[in-house]
Amino acid sequence: MGLFNFFTQEIAIDLGTANTLIIHNDEVVVNEPSIVALDRNNPKTVLAVGKRALMMHEKTHESIRTVRPLKDGVIADFNAAELMIREMIKMIYPKKPLFPPSWRMMICIPSSITEVEKRAVRDSAEQAGAKEVYLLHEPMAAALGIGIDVEEPVGNMIIDIGGGTTGITVIALAGIVCDQSIRIAGDEFTADIMEALRRYHSLLIGERTAEQIKINIGAAMKDLDNPPDDIPVNGRDLVTGIPKQIMVSYQEIAEALDKSIFKIEEAILKALEMTPPELAADIYRRGLYLTGGGALLRGLDKRLSQKIKLPVHVADDPLKSVVRGTGLALKNYEHYPFVMR
In a domain? residue 271: yes
Concatenating the DSSP letter of every residue in 80-139 gives: HHHHHHHHHHHHH-SSPPSSPPEEEEEEEE-TT--HHHHHHHHHHHHHTTEEEEEEEEHH
More reliable by pLDDT, 5 or 192: 192
Q: Binding site annotation covers 59?
A: no
Q: Do 194 and 293 reside in the same domain of the chain?
A: no
> Would residue 302 count as lying in a domain?
yes
Question: Does 41 reside within a domain?
Answer: no
Among 237, 256, 275, identify where a domain stops. Answer: 256
pLDDT above 90 coverage of the chain, percent: 83
Residue 331, in any domain of the structure? no
Residue 293 is assigned to a ligand binding site: yes
Predicted TM-score of the model (pTM): 0.91
- Do 287 and 156 form a contact (C-beta atoms < 8 A)? no
pLDDT given at position 94: 78
Q: Are residues 190 and 289 in the same domain?
A: no
Residue 166 sits in the same domain as residue 266:
yes
Q: Is 188 annotated as a binding residue?
A: no
Q: What is the mean pLDDT of residues 14-21?
A: 93
**What pLDDT score was predicted for residue 313?**
96
Whether 190 has a binding-site annotation, put simply, is: no
CATH number, domain of 154, equals 3.30.420.40
Whether residues 244 and 297 fall in one domain: no
32 in a structural domain: no
What is the domain range of residue 300?
148-184+261-315
Residue 4 pLDDT > 60: no
Based on the domain organization, do 198 and 250 belong to the same domain? Answer: yes
Identify whether residues 190 and 301 lie together within a single domain.
no
What's the chain's length in residues?
Answer: 341
Q: Residue 5 pLDDT > 70, yes or no? A: no
Q: How many CA atoms lie within 13 A of 46 on its CB side?
A: 21
Asked whether residue 211 is marked as a ligand-binding residue, the answer is yes
The CATH number linked to 251 is 3.90.640.10
164 domain-assigned:
yes
Q: Are residues 220 and 246 in the same domain?
A: yes
Kindly state whether residues 169 and 224 are assigned to the same domain: no
Strand-pairing partners, residue 158, are 169, 289
State yes or no: 325 annotated in a binding site. Answer: no
Q: What's the structural domain count of the chain? A: 2
- The mean per-residue pLDDT over the stretch 100-120 comes to 89
pLDDT tens-digit readout, 321-340: 999 999 999 998 888 888 98
Pairwise CA distance, residues 73 & 15, whole Å: 8
The domain boundary residue, chosen from 212, 239, 256? 256
Q: Are residues 194 and 244 in the same domain?
A: yes
Is 218 within any annotated ligand binding site? no
pLDDT in tens, 165-207: 999 999 999 999 999 999 999 999 999 999 999 999 999 999 9
Tell whether 41 is in a known binding site: no
Residue 224 in this model has a pLDDT that exceeds 60: yes
Q: Give the mean pLDDT of the chain.
A: 92
Consult the annotation and say whether 117 binds a ligand: no
The answer to whether 42 is annotated as binding is no
Nearest to residue 209, comparing CAs of 194, 228, 188, 230? Answer: 194
> In which band, very low, low, confident or very high, does the pLDDT at 210 lie, cut at 50, 70 and 90?
very high
Residues 296 and 309 in one domain: yes
Last residue of a domain, one of 205, 224, 256: 256
Check whether 14 has a pLDDT greater than 80.
yes
Same-domain check for residues 245 and 192: yes
- Is 255 annotated to bind a ligand? Reply is no
What are residue 191's DSSP bridge partners?
A: none
Does 18 count as an annotated binding residue? yes
Q: Are residues 171 and 192 in the same domain?
A: no
Q: Is residue 29 part of a domain?
A: no
Tell me whether residue 213 is annotated as binding.
yes
Confidence of residue 101 (pLDDT cuts 50, 70, 90): confident
Q: What is the pLDDT at residue 264?
A: 96
In a domain, 141, yes or no: no
In this model, does residue 145 exceed pLDDT 60?
A: yes
281 is in an annotated binding site: no
